Amino acid sequence: MTVTSFPSIASRTFPQAHSIEMISELLSSVLGGSQHLLILLPTWTAALWILWYCWKFILSPHFYKDEPPIYPYYIPFIGHLRSFIQDAGSLVKKAESCFGEGKLFGVQIAGKKLYIITSAEGTKEFYRNTTALDFTAFQLDTLKQFGMSPAGCKLMSKHIQGRTNGRDRINIDLIVDVHHRNLHSSANLGQIASPVAEYISNALRLETLPEQCIRFPGPRTEGKVVSLYTLCEEVILRANITGFWGNDLLDIAPDLVSTTSTLDRRFHNLLLRIPRLLEPEVYNLRDKVLDYFDRYMDIPMKARTSLSPLIKELEQTSRDLGLSQRDIAVYHLAWLLASNNNIHAACFWVLAHLAESPDLANKVREETAGIARNALSFSPAEALKDNQLPCLMALWREVLRFYGGPHTSGRHVQEDTVFTGKRLRRGASLLVATSTLQRDKAVWGADADEFVPNRFLRSPYLAKVANYRPFGGGISHCSGQHLAFVEMAMVVACLLDRFDMQIVPGVEETAFPQPFKAAPLLGIMHVREGDDKLVMLVPRLTGR
Ligand code: HEM
């Protein structure tokens, strides 16, 4: 008899088979009395596995009907870890087609339940529920995963006077206030954006293009062939790093651009609490960047060149709270990732589509000419006016919709709670499945899976629908969204004003680059490995 017939035996005898000996007896009878270990061990294992599987995915859902269903998996504890890391998007799609569109369901990642929200209603409730799904608790957990010491975490969660978002204020709220103060008011945003814009403007000239992005130099007058992906990575990351931390940080950490870029692709593994043993590289990169910031802070603040007011205030506030230098380094790391993750990938997709469509590039060139020519007196508030750059704004919004990765926001459940009618237990985690929401045909129409550059020009109301969540929502709504647009606009304006983006002569036309859909990224998808968009940048006579 094979193990596949075990369930019929189990239904006959299982109520008594609660001890190992009884199972052993049962198996022995099934095997005709054979006690041979080599046969018994795998048979026992298979039998126990079948019992576990039947209980977990057939019987227990009947007992726990008020909890979201869990997508079946084969290896206890480990669950969907491998498929989630390798291709989170496909896993979510398969699970959604198993349970039905818009349903809340769970996957199992290394011993933890991770619930996935695929409906607009669920997303609204996610951002509204600021107690059981407290964002601050998520931030504290993120800091812990980024390397903050237990003493540092305790200090950050210490109560202070006053209330915020319906709860008592804690020390970390003072830091969040610094983000908001510096990035929400247009005067402060101007102060933050101006050195970043200046860096971008200076870097995007024929003679100063970063050499990492140049593929074939060619004679000077003819132009240069560049990788658009590397150009965005080099220019935007360097602009942000020097704009925020001044020149000293890159002197201490010359490889910080490439390190940040790699960390950006992997840091979700820290947030998902994947153990160091399974993902050593991401922990090593994290520690390397912490060492850089530690050394950076050895330079007295007054002696650092061109430090931005935001970073100055963040560091000073953390010192005043009594955080150790190593714990403040964790804050710098968090800010490095928050300010850099997403933006260069999003900017790449904007440029790749402009390079593909000369008509659209001409319209955007006309809109943005003023920005490129007045880079030093550039006003973010002007650029952000909705009717100021209509074609570029529509293209940006479509990039954020179409290339939005499988997930954006995540939370850890702080207390048992009822969510969209289902009970969630404390300790589980939740993710918003952005790409599912942003590709829903019922909202976006039959062309939801196509890239339509003027979609938001055609239907501006789409920027406000609950299915559109590139910057999250509620109290955790991204403070950097305006800065991100301004940086992208500056790159686009300078490139289009100074260059024509032409097809590379002698290089066969290749397919349009594809996004790397597999990673469970929090934010915008990067380009698939090996894909890129090469263009020939030919100087324009009218460009400045
Ligand atoms: C295309 C670029 C960007 C995208 C798609 C993006 C996306 C997001 C999302 C989805 C959230 C919500 C997270 C949650 O609810 O769990 C968020 C929060 C946040 N983002 Fe961004 N972001 C971008 C650029 C930036 C930049 C450039 C900065 C900083 C300069 C920044 C700083 C922050 C901060 C500090 C938060 C936490 C909320 C707060 O304290 O304000 N982001 N972002």
Structure tokens at 502: 């032409």
Residues belonging to the binding site for heme are 478
Residue 29's pLDDT is 59
Least confident of 282-291, 292-301, 342-351, 468-477: 468-477
User: Same domain for 239 and 373?
Assistant: yes
Q: How far apart are the first and last CA of the chain?
A: 82
496 pLDDT above the threshold of 50: yes
Ligand 1 atom nearest to 180, measured from its CA: 41
User: Same domain for 297 and 384?
Assistant: yes
Q: Output the CA 500–ligand 1 centroid distance in Å.
A: 32
Ligand 1 atom nearest to 410, measured from its CA: 16
Number of Cβ atoms within 10 Å of the Cβ of 276 = 13
CA distances from 382 to 110, 190, 191, 200 (A): 48, 10, 14, 18
Q: What is the pTM of this model?
A: 0.88
Asked whether 40 lines ligand 1 (CB < 6 A), one says no
Residues belonging to the binding site are 478
Mutation test of ligand 1: which of 336, 397, 478 has the most ligand atoms closer than 8 Å to its C-beta?
A: 478
User: Same domain for 57 and 139?
Assistant: no
Residue 378's pLDDT is 67
Tell me if 377 is assigned to some domain.
yes
252 pLDDT above the threshold of 80: yes
**For the chain, what is the mean pLDDT?**
88
Q: Output the CA 158–ligand 1 centroid distance in Å.
A: 24
15 pLDDT above the threshold of 90: no
Asked whether 478 lines ligand 1 (CB < 6 A), one says yes
Query: Does residue 239 contact residue 487 with C-beta atoms inside 8 Å?
Result: yes
Question: Can you give the CATH number for the domain in which 196 is found?
Answer: 1.10.630.10
Residue 520's pLDDT is 66
Residue 219's pLDDT is 59
* Domain of residue 25, residue span: 3-63
Tell me if 461 is assigned to some domain.
yes
Tell me if 77 is assigned to some domain.
no
Asked whether 472 lines ligand 1 (CB < 6 A), one says yes
Tell me if 374 is assigned to some domain.
yes
Tell me if 524 is assigned to some domain.
yes
User: Same domain for 287 and 152?
Assistant: yes
Q: Output the CA 387–ligand 1 centroid distance in Å.
A: 24
Least confident of 162-166, 210-214, 294-298, 482-486: 162-166
User: Same domain for 56 and 139?
Assistant: no
CA distances from 441 to 122, 156, 431, 435, 491 (A): 17, 43, 21, 12, 32
Q: Output the CA 338–ligand 1 centroid distance in Å.
A: 6
Confidence class of residue 32 from pLDDT cuts 50, 70 and 90?
low
Q: Output the CA 236–ligand 1 centroid distance in Å.
A: 16
pLDDT in tens, 324-351: 999 999 999 999 999 988 999 999 999 9
pLDDT in tens, 459-469: 999 999 999 99
Mean pLDDT over residues 47-59, rounded? 94
Helix (H, G, I), strand (E, B) or coil at 319: helix
Asked whether 243 lines ligand 1 (CB < 6 A), one says no
Single residue among 12, 34, 63 that ends a domain in this structure: 63
User: Same domain for 308 and 450?
Assistant: yes
Mean pLDDT over residues 201-221, rounded? 85
Cα 494 from chain centroid? 27
Ligand 1 atom nearest to 484, measured from its CA: 27
| Cβ neighbourhood burial of 526 (10 Å; 0-12, 13-18, 19+) | buried
Asked whether 54 lines ligand 1 (CB < 6 A), one says no
pLDDT in tens, 88-129: 888 988 999 999 988 999 999 888 899 999 898 899 899 999
For residue 434, give the amino acid letter: T
Asked whether 523 lines ligand 1 (CB < 6 A), one says yes
Whole-angstrom Cα distance, residue 206 to residue 530?
Answer: 25
Residue 84's pLDDT is 85
Q: Output the CA 177–ligand 1 centroid distance in Å.
A: 14
Strands 429-432 and 112-117: parallel
User: Same domain for 309 and 390?
Assistant: yes
| Cβ neighbourhood burial of 493 (10 Å; 0-12, 13-18, 19+) | buried
Residue 529's pLDDT is 87
Residue 441's pLDDT is 92
CA distances from 328 to 64, 150, 320, 339 (A): 44, 13, 11, 17
Asked whether 182 lines ligand 1 (CB < 6 A), one says no
Whole-angstrom Cα distance, residue 185 to residue 164?
Answer: 20
User: Same domain for 302 and 401?
Assistant: yes
Atom 13 (ligand 1) nearest CA: 409
Query: Does residue 478 contact residue 366 with C-beta atoms inside 8 Å?
Result: no
pLDDT in tens, 171-195: 999 999 998 888 887 778 888 888 9
User: Same domain for 49 and 164?
Assistant: no
Tell me if 449 is assigned to some domain.
yes
Single residue among 11, 31, 63 that ends a domain in this structure: 63
The β-bridge partners of 226 are: 214, 535
210 pLDDT above the threshold of 60: yes
Asked whether 380 lines ligand 1 (CB < 6 A), one says no
| Cβ neighbourhood burial of 20 (10 Å; 0-12, 13-18, 19+) | exposed
Tell me if 355 is assigned to some domain.
yes
Single residue among 63, 92, 109 that ends a domain in this structure: 63
Radius of gyration of the chain (CA): 27
Tell me if 468 is assigned to some domain.
yes
Whole-angstrom Cα distance, residue 492 to residue 87?
Answer: 31
Whole-angstrom Cα distance, residue 520 to residue 540?
Answer: 41
Residue 334's pLDDT is 95
User: Same domain for 55 and 200?
Assistant: no
Which has the closest alpha carbon to 354: 320, 398, 324? 398
User: Same domain for 401 and 504?
Assistant: yes
Complex prediction ipTM: 0.98
How many domains, in total, are found in the chain?
Answer: 2
User: Same domain for 44 and 139?
Assistant: no
Helix (H, G, I), strand (E, B) or coil at 488: helix
Proportion of the chain above pLDDT 70, given as a percent: 89
Asked whether 338 lines ligand 1 (CB < 6 A), one says yes
Residue 346's pLDDT is 96
